[in-house]
């Protein structure tokens, strides 16, 4: 049975390389691969954080991001869980991601918690780096 440390993290928003919060995980990245997941990407539009961050749902669509492998996965997941408010705003779970060569990988992915979606902007092209 695989352990937490055996799975990469799929990032699609502010934790992606080139985005505003990549610095939180950058030092621990041992391998990065461009990837995609099935789902829909939205820009969160509510309250004080209006428009500042994306979220992912399991609706039909494609979302682009990166698979990040870490030297110390459990430590990085503790940091990202805190940053993403795991169990509050987002829920981290294992999900299929596909690299550019079409290979399926099981990865940790943060999805918006049920009931938190609201009336937000769908990012049709599925790439946060193109709209931030």
DSSP labels, 27-84: GGEEEEEEEEEEEEEEE--SGGGTTS-EEEEEEEEEEEEEEEEESSHHHHHHHHHHHH
Q: What percent of the chain has pLDDT over 90?
A: 75
Q: Quote the pLDDT of residue 62.
A: 98
Tell me, yes or no, whether 84 lies in a domain: yes
Is residue 2 exposed (0-12), middle (13-18) or buried (19+ Cβ within 10 Å)? exposed
Return the CATH number at 83. 3.10.490.10
Q: What's the confidence (pLDDT) of residue 46?
A: 63
> 123 or 1: which carries more pLDDT confidence?
123
Residue 72 lies in a domain: yes
What domain range is 96 assigned to? Answer: 4-100+122-130
Please state the pTM of the whole predicted model: 0.92
Contact 5, 81 (CB under 8 A): no
pLDDT at 27 over 70: yes
């Amino acid at each position: 049975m695989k352990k937490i440390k055996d799975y990469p993290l799929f990032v699609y928003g502010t934790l992606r390389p080139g985005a505003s919060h990549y610095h939180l995980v950058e030092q621990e990245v041992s391998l990065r691969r461009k990837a995609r997941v099935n789902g829909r990407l939205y820009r969160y539009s509510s309250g004080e954080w209006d428009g500042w961050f994306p979220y992912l749902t399991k609706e039909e669509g494609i979302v682009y991001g990166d698979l990040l492998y870490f030297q110390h996965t459990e430590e990085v997941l503790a940091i990202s869980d805190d940053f993403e408010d795991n169990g509050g705003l987002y829920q981290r779970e294992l999900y299929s991601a596909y690299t550019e060569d079409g290979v399926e990988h099981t990865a940790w992915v943060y999805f918006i918690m049920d009931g938190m979606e609201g009336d937000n902007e769908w990012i049709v092209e599925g790439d946060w780096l193109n709209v931030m």
